Amino acid sequence: MNDWLYWITTGATIIAGFVITCGLAQTTVYLLQLLLAAMALSSRPPVARATLLWRRYSDVAPPVALVVPAYNEEMNVVESVRSLLSLEYPAYEVIVVNDGSRDATLDRLKEAYQLRLVTRPYEEALSHAPIRGIYASQLSNRLFVVDKDNGGKADAQNAGINVSRAPLFCVIDADSILEPDALLRAVHPFVDDPVRTIAVGGTIRIANGSEVSGGRVSNVRLPRKLLPLLQIVEYLRAFLMTRLAWSRINTLMLVSGAFGIFRRREAVEVGGFTKGSMGEDLDFIVKLHRHMRDNDRDYRIEFIPEPVCWTEAPESLDVLGRQRSRWQRGSLEVFFRYRSMLFNPRYGRIGFLGFGHIFLVDVIGPVIEVLGYILMPAFWLLGILALDYLLAFTALVFTYGVFISVMSLILEEVELRRFPRARDLVILTGAAVLENFGYRQINNYWRLKGMWQYARGGSEWGQMTRKGFAKQTK
């Protein structure tokens, strides 16, 4: 009997040791990121007014093709395209890819922009589901619509890349709102370091609660609902801390699919986006890193902290949960697909920091956190851990969580200051505290669910049906 208890306690202690080690590793990574992000922000290129940007870059900015995959977007595709056609950029074209929508997406476009079927020769550089036709608009010489069989988001993006002729392309979601000067700002690294820059990502912000008029976010406000508010704190942390920090040391692992600019040549070299991928944006960047490092080429994947793209965040637990489970599956998928890069000295920082971070946060993170929640009280019940310690540990975990969130709020406030009122800051602070009680745990549950789905899905890989993409997030 005693023997049995002994083994349980030893086992539990070992697991606890593991949990604590991982926790410490995560803590260190966060601190490192904070430091790097602060450095990056303090030395970032100056934010200029649009007229100044125009004067500075309009003569030398390379042409860009906007690739906009659309699946069942009949509700807002016309409006989205309209706002894309009025961006401030000297030379760009908009290529909407209708990914075999089952609703009237194509008809709406045809009607609104007087599309007519054209022949547009293009190179079959990337493979994708067959294109049924390419349309040009009689209203704008900048708009093209590619109509193709359904093949998923990555497939649609590949088709768009094929048809594009500009040296750079920009992928955006059909349901997000771009700042009018987004392209001009984001193209900056391609102008200033044209040899090495192969990809640039921008900050995605949550538009819930803000006033949107005329296809632009006109008045930035905090959402009234709790769930989007908590996501705002989350996004600030993800973009202003993690991505900025990793970009500073050229280890950026993710350029969001909602807004990213890429050099076409390298994108084609790696075979475009991986089809049937859950997290095709993460997958793509990892592929680019691997490709460039395998070929010993000097390159940069940059991130610019100015908000360039606004998106509507899910407002219901149900939808948010599905989104998070899907993100989790995406991370796992990429992690296991490119697992040979983990801690592989050949890939340097990408292998150690980038992949290490994915491993720590996305692969074992959710498990560790749950183990922590279970073990700590269990130890106390078993009498291994005194109540005092239990409380102290718990307090530490939570105050540290709050601390990290608050630090990313500092980055926002000192450098970007996009929330207009002082009151917003107080509310955000509240959200940063609140986030640790409940939201963080639910999030963790969704991620575990994602892991479970991934583990189960692995066996039935072949017959995965593609339902398209956009509306799953809605």
Partner 1 sequence: MTEKTKILICDDDPLLLELVEYKLKAKGYLVIRAENGEDALIAMAAEKPDLVVLDAMMPMLDGFEVLRHIKQHPDFAQMPVVMLTARKSEKDIVSALDRGADDYLVKPFIPDELLARISRLLAARR
Partner 2 sequence: MLYGLWIISLLLAAISLLVMTGLVAARMFRANRQERRELARKRLLPAFLAFTEDGDQEAFLSKAATVPMSTTVDLSLEFLNLMRGDEHANLVNVLTRAGVARELVFRTARGNRTSRIHAVEALPFFPGPETTVSLQNALKDRSADVRLSAAIGLVAGGSNVPLAELLEQLGTGDLASRRLVGLFRHLPAERLDELREILKSGETPSIVRAAAIEALGTSGDYSLLPLFAACIADGEPEVSAAAIHAIGELAHPAGATAIERALTNADWQVRAEAATAVARIGLDRASGQLSELLEDDQWLVRYAASKALFDLGVDGRTVLVDIAKGGRPRSQRAAALLLAEEGYEAQ
Give 198 or 282: the residue with its C-beta nearer to partner 2.
Answer: 198
Indicate whether 215 belongs to the interface with partner 1 (CB under 8 A): yes
Kindly indicate which of the ranges 336-344, 357-365, 397-405, 450-458 contains the residues binding partner 2, using the contact rule CB under 8 A.
Answer: 397-405
Give 282 or 304: the residue with its C-beta nearer to partner 2.
Answer: 304
- Closest approach of Cβ 118 to partner 2, in Å? 7
Strands of the sheet containing 64-70, edge to edge, are 115-118, 131-137, 143-148, 92-99, 64-70, 168-172, 259-263, 197-206, 300-311, 177-178
Indicate which single residue of 45, 214, 430, 438 sits in contact with partner 1 (rule: CB under 8 A): 214
For residue 273, the one-letter residue type is F
Indicate whether 426 belongs to the interface with partner 2 (CB under 8 A): yes
216 binds, among partner 1, partner 2, none (CB under 5 to 8 A by kind): partner 1
Strands 216-219 and 168-172, bridge-based pairing? unpaired
Indicate whether 52 belongs to the interface with partner 1 (CB under 8 A): no
- Per 3-state DSSP, the chain is made up of helix, strand and coil in percentages (nearest 5) of 55, 15, 30
Indicate which single residue of 24, 118, 139, 381 sits in contact with partner 1 (rule: CB under 8 A): 139
373 binds, among partner 1, partner 2, none (CB under 5 to 8 A by kind): none
- Closest approach of Cβ 408 to partner 2, in Å? 11
- Closest approach of Cβ 187 to partner 2, in Å? 10
Indicate whether 48 belongs to the interface with partner 2 (CB under 8 A): yes
Strands 64-70 and 92-99, bridge-based pairing? parallel
Of 305, 174, 188, 285, the C-alpha closest to 238 is: 305
Kindly indicate which of the ranges 117-125, 203-211, 219-227, 321-329 contains the residues binding partner 2, using the contact rule CB under 8 A.
Answer: 117-125
Indicate whether 140 belongs to the interface with partner 1 (CB under 8 A): yes
Indicate whether 425 belongs to the interface with partner 2 (CB under 8 A): yes
User: Beta partners for 292?
Assistant: none
Let me know: does 242 contact 235? Beta carbons within 8 Å.
Answer: no
Indicate whether 438 belongs to the interface with partner 2 (CB under 8 A): no
User: Binding to partner 1 (CB under 8 A): which residues in 57-86?
Assistant: 58, 82-83, 85-86
Question: How many residues of this chain interact with partner 2, rule: CB under 8 A?
Answer: 50
Of 313, 145, 169, 307, the C-alpha closest to 229 is: 313
327 binds, among partner 2, partner 1, none (CB under 5 to 8 A by kind): none
Indicate whether 389 belongs to the interface with partner 2 (CB under 8 A): yes
Q: Is 100 left (phi over 0), alpha (psi -120 to 50) or beta?
A: left
Indicate which single residue of 35, 139, 410, 464 sits in contact with partner 2 (rule: CB under 8 A): 410
Of 387, 364, 374, the C-alpha closest to 16 is: 374
Indicate whether 24 belongs to the interface with partner 2 (CB under 8 A): no
Indicate which single residue of 8, 91, 392, 395 sits in contact with partner 1 (rule: CB under 8 A): 91
**CB-based contacts of 462-465 (< 8 A; 24+ apart in sequence):** 464/276
Site string for partner 2, 292-331 (x = CB under 8 A): ----------------------------------------
Residue 148 CA to residue 171 CA, distance in Å, equals 17
**Position of tokens 């690739």?**
67
Exposure of 197 in the CB half-sphere (CA atoms within 13 A): 22
Residue 325 belongs to what H/E stretch? helix 317-337
Question: How many residues of this chain interact with partner 1, rule: CB under 8 A?
Answer: 18
Residue 358 CA to residue 377 CA, distance in Å, equals 28
140 binds, among partner 1, partner 2, none (CB under 5 to 8 A by kind): partner 1
- Closest approach of Cβ 86 to partner 1, in Å? 4
Phi, psi of 219 (to 5 degrees): -140, 110
- Closest approach of Cβ 233 to partner 2, in Å? 12
Residue 156 CA to residue 128 CA, distance in Å, equals 7
Would you give the DSSP letter of residue 31?
H
Residue 231 CA to residue 222 CA, distance in Å, equals 11
Indicate whether 48 belongs to the interface with partner 1 (CB under 8 A): no
Phi, psi of 53 (to 5 degrees): -60, -45
User: Binding to partner 2 (CB under 8 A): which residues in 64-83?
Assistant: none
List interacting residues with partner 1 (CB under 8 A).
Answer: 51, 54, 58, 82-83, 85-88, 90-91, 139-141, 180, 214-216
List interacting residues with partner 2 (CB under 8 A).
Answer: 43, 45-48, 51-52, 55-57, 59-60, 62, 118-121, 123, 125, 190-196, 386, 388-389, 392-393, 395-396, 398-400, 402-403, 406-407, 409-410, 413, 417, 421-422, 425-426, 429, 432
